[in-house]
Amino acid sequence: MIMSTNIFKIIIFLALAHASNGGCDVNDWPRSCLANFRIGKQKCEPCESGRYGCNCSENCPNNTYGPGCYTFCDCPEDEFCDPMVGCMNTTTTTHTTRAETTQQGLNTPTNNISSSPRKKIGN
């Protein structure tokens, strides 16, 4: 009886440990992937730059960047650590482009309606 209770406790402990890391300990696509991988369409795929963790669910911690957040930033004062690419100048300007569209008018035929004065009948 004591042996079965201990086995039960071990099973519960393992189940809780598995749940606490979100199941990231097994590469079992499509159900789960290892940490720093996400479930892709046909396989487990590495996290994109700036993300890490179980199914890439976390942003990189401060002062880290890149795939899996393994690289540390050591930025000068006038730069900040971007989680995707590393140190970036704080005065970086983002240029946006505007797509222009032209609209062609519809060629609808116009009816030339002419009217003639009506004759008043009666008074």
Residue ranges covered by each domain of the chain? 21-89
Q: How many CB atoms neighbour CB 27 within 10 A? A: 12
Per-residue confidence (pLDDT) for residue 27, from 0 to 100: 72
Average pLDDT across the chain, whole number: 71
- Rounded-to-integer distance, Cα 22 and Cα 24, Å: 6
Range of weakest confidence among 36-40, 57-61, 99-103: 99-103
Per-residue confidence (pLDDT) for residue 48, from 0 to 100: 94
pTM summary value: 0.50
Range of weakest confidence among 8-12, 50-54, 116-120: 8-12
What number is the average pLDDT over the span 80-109?
66
Per-residue confidence (pLDDT) for residue 59, from 0 to 100: 94
What number is the average pLDDT over the span 80-101?
72
- Rounded-to-integer distance, Cα 34 and Cα 50, Å: 17
Inter-CA distances, 92 with 78, 102, 115, Å: 10, 32, 67
Could you read off the pLDDT of 18-34 as tens digits, one per residue? 444 456 777 777 788 89
